[in-house]
Chains A and B, each alone.
Chain A
Amino acid sequence: MPSAKSSLRPALAPFSMEGFWLGFRRAVITTPGILLFGMGFGAEAAVKGLTFLDAFFFQSLVLAGASQYVALELWTDPLTWTTAFAMAAVVFTVNLRMMLLGAALRPWMGGLPGYKSYPALAIMTDPAWIIAIRYHREGGQDWGVYVGACVFLYLTWIVSVVPGYYLVDALEDPTRFGIDLVMPIFFITMLVPVWRGRMDAAPWAVAILVALTVKELVPGYWFVLAGGLSAAFTAAALFKDEEAADG
């Protein structure tokens, strides 16, 4: 690393097992939401006629909740090349937002060697990501926290598909108990400590307006990507050089 550019490059983040278990414990709060979300996928997969192993590998390898549901809608038996291609395409568009999640981790984890950072990105899920972001915003640097949260989410996710697949019929009308709002309520809760006051007001407001507008005008999940990007551009545009005596 050339020293002249070092201030523009992320430092090497530490990793500890204490951090790992901290992240693991902090992720426990997601259990009810993830279990229900994952069971829902298992149940839907059973209805669609996937074998148990199909469903299990789908769940444990693709590892991207919302996009799995959308792709599952396209599933046919037998699968054709066209269907497989369509599923991959829809998964990509629904998951495009994750490039923003990964980008947001760059200042924290960009100093790590690629053989550590890319596997870490591979197991990234949205709830684990926001738990880690919150920890980092509160001053933490240990990327073990991120890994611990990801591992907890992963284990919960792959376990959840089993009862979902075999207990399809028991899962009726979960909305009555607010289950459909579990994840939004979790995400908004984790976002509260990320708020830093007035400097976040404009970017966040722009994100909401852009997302609502794009959702009206464009079918699909582009509103998430558009909203997220618009927040970043707003914040960057409002940034004044004198605020940061780089360091």
Chain B
Amino acid sequence: MDSLFTQGAWLAIGAMVVMTLLAKMMGFWVLGRVPLTARLRRGLEALPGGVILATIVPITLESGPAGLLGISVATLVMAVTKKDWLAVGLGLASVAGYRAFLEPLV
């Protein structure tokens, strides 16, 4: 058994599982202990946009023009067509196209 699954790994994975569950559950738990006023709901409604933009904008800016291009194309296509497959596909295609054809020129 030891050769299949390292004993120390049990410990580390178990500890990581506990910490991840804690992170996933604590926000939900805390909000169960306060009344969900209209003001609080409005704050919670801003979380998806806030969390996602806070994650991807810094990452995208680091990946340079290709990242900005991909994000812009996906946003535009989604806003106009409302088709997520098309938006993701064209966003990725624009990144691949930029890297294949334009980046070598810059």
Contacts of B85 in A (CB 8 A): 29
A159 at interface (Cβ–Cβ under 8 A)? no
A232 at interface (Cβ–Cβ under 8 A)? yes
Q: In the complex the two chains form, what is the Cα distance from A58 to B15 in whole Å?
A: 11
Interface string of B43-64 (1 = CB under 8 A from A): 1111111111111111111010
Contact B46 A200 (CB under 8 A): yes
User: Which listed residue, B6, B53, B63, touches A204 by the CB 8 Å rule?
Assistant: B53
Contact B42 A98 (CB under 8 A): no
Contact B19 A88 (CB under 8 A): yes
Interface size in chain A (residues, C-beta < 8 A): 103
Contact A29 B84 (CB under 8 A): yes
B12 at interface (Cβ–Cβ under 8 A)? yes
Contacts of B11 in A (CB 8 A): 79, 81, 84
Main secondary structure of the interface of B (DSSP, over half): helix
Chain A, 7-47, CB within 8 A of any chain B CB: 8-10, 29
Contacts of A193 in B (CB 8 A): 78, 82
A171 at interface (Cβ–Cβ under 8 A)? no
Contacts of B93 in A (CB 8 A): 178
Contacts of B78 in A (CB 8 A): 188-189, 192-193
Q: Given A102-B27, A184-B59, decide whether A5 and B35 contact each other with a Cβ distance below 8 A.
A: yes
Contact B47 A101 (CB under 8 A): yes
Contact A103 B23 (CB under 8 A): no
Contact B71 A184 (CB under 8 A): yes
Contact B31 A50 (CB under 8 A): no
Contact A207 B31 (CB under 8 A): no
Contact B47 A231 (CB under 8 A): yes
Interface string of A31-71 (1 = CB under 8 A from B): 00000000000000000001111100110011110011001
Contact B49 A189 (CB under 8 A): no
Contact A79 B39 (CB under 8 A): no
Chain A, 170-207, CB within 8 A of any chain B CB: 175-178, 180-195, 200, 203-204, 206-207
Contact B91 A79 (CB under 8 A): no
Q: How far is the CB of B58 from chain A (nearest CB, A)?
A: 5
Contact A100 B47 (CB under 8 A): yes
User: Which listed residue, A183, A194, A239, touches B48 by the CB 8 Å rule?
Assistant: A194
Q: In the complex the two chains form, what is the Cα distance from A96 to B70 in whole Å?
A: 28
Closest to A201 in B: B49
Contact B4 A53 (CB under 8 A): yes
Contacts of B43 in A (CB 8 A): 232-233, 235-236, 239
Q: How far is the CB of B28 from chain A (nearest CB, A)?
A: 4
Contact B38 A91 (CB under 8 A): no
7 closest residue pairs by CB, A with B: A227-B54, A231-B50, A79-B8, A99-B27, A178-B95, A103-B27, A236-B43
Interface residues of B (CB under 8 A from A): 3-6, 8-9, 11-13, 15-32, 35-61, 63, 66-67, 70-71, 74-75, 78-79, 82, 84-85, 87-88, 91-93, 95-96, 99-100
Interface residues of A (CB under 8 A from B): 5, 8-10, 29, 50-54, 57-58, 61-64, 67-68, 71, 75, 77-81, 83-85, 87-89, 91-92, 95-107, 109-110, 117-118, 121-122, 124, 130, 133, 175-178, 180-195, 200, 203-204, 206-208, 210-212, 215, 223-224, 226-236, 239, 241, 243-244, 246
